[in-house]
A and B are shown apart, each in its own frame.
Chain A
């Protein structure tokens, strides 16, 4: 089993959220959507996560993942309409650790509320 760094965020509601920007340095990373008990969330397209290898990047090199109940163009993580969920970012083979304090050493992506459904 890998030993990744796991910053978790808990969001509420069926709103549309956007995850943008850059991620901390890592050889490989994944972002996965779970329900509050750590289970994958059922949805029509069977999409529960993105890996750093399969994301479509914007023309400026940055990336955006849209987390919402309704289908969106680009990197869409469907919430299946559940009220509470967690997004987990796992960094595999990364210099970032619990002892890393300086913000510039671990640039975290921004999470922005875009719209209500």
Chain B
């Protein structure tokens, strides 16, 4: 019995740990949802000592957020590059960063990216295959 109790306790604990990020109501997405829009960029206000939308924002950087939704089709992202430093990072709904590129890696004045699901990628015709931008 003792062993079973321990095992169940372990499972409950693991379940609770795994569930935490999904049940936390004030994660980054929840905080950004009221002030950002879907498939369009919105600039976030710079952090001040009075107010910060997200903790640990870097006050040296301007941040813009786009909540993307691929259910109606793929999206094309175009971001102008500033003189100092520019980067674009993609996050999942659960705050996992899965892709990032900066201006120097992009090597151009504009960062251009196509974002689509694996299914949408599969539906692309051979001749309209996504190629890395040239120029």
- Which A residues are closer than 8 A to B by beta carbons? 1-4, 27-28, 30, 32, 34, 37-43, 48-49, 51, 88, 90, 92-93
Summed over the interface, the residue pairs from A and B with CB atoms below 8 Å come to a total of 60
Contacts of A90 in B (CB 8 A): 58
Contact with A along B15-37 (1 / 0, CB 8 A): 00000000000000000000000
CB-contacts of B39-97 with A (<8 A): 47-50, 52, 54-56, 58-61, 63, 84-85, 87, 89, 91, 97
Interface of A is mostly: loop
Contacts of B104 in A (CB 8 A): 27, 93
> What's the Cα separation between A90 and B85 when bound, in Å?
13
A39-B55, A93-B104 given; A2·B61 CB < 8 A: yes
> What's the Cα separation between A53 and B12 when bound, in Å?
50
Q: Is the CB of A38 within 8 A of B60?
A: no
A2-B61, A49-B59 given; A40·B52 CB < 8 A: yes
Contacts of A3 in B (CB 8 A): 87, 89, 97, 100
Q: Is the CB of A38 within 8 A of B63?
A: no
Contacts of A2 in B (CB 8 A): 58, 61, 85, 87, 89, 100, 102
What 10 new A-B contacts, CB under 8 Å, besides A34-B56, A49-B59?
A: A1-B87, A2-B61, A2-B100, A3-B100, A32-B58, A37-B55, A39-B47, A40-B52, A49-B58, A90-B58
Contacts of B61 in A (CB 8 A): 2
Contacts of B50 in A (CB 8 A): 42
Q: Is the CB of B59 within 8 A of A38?
A: no
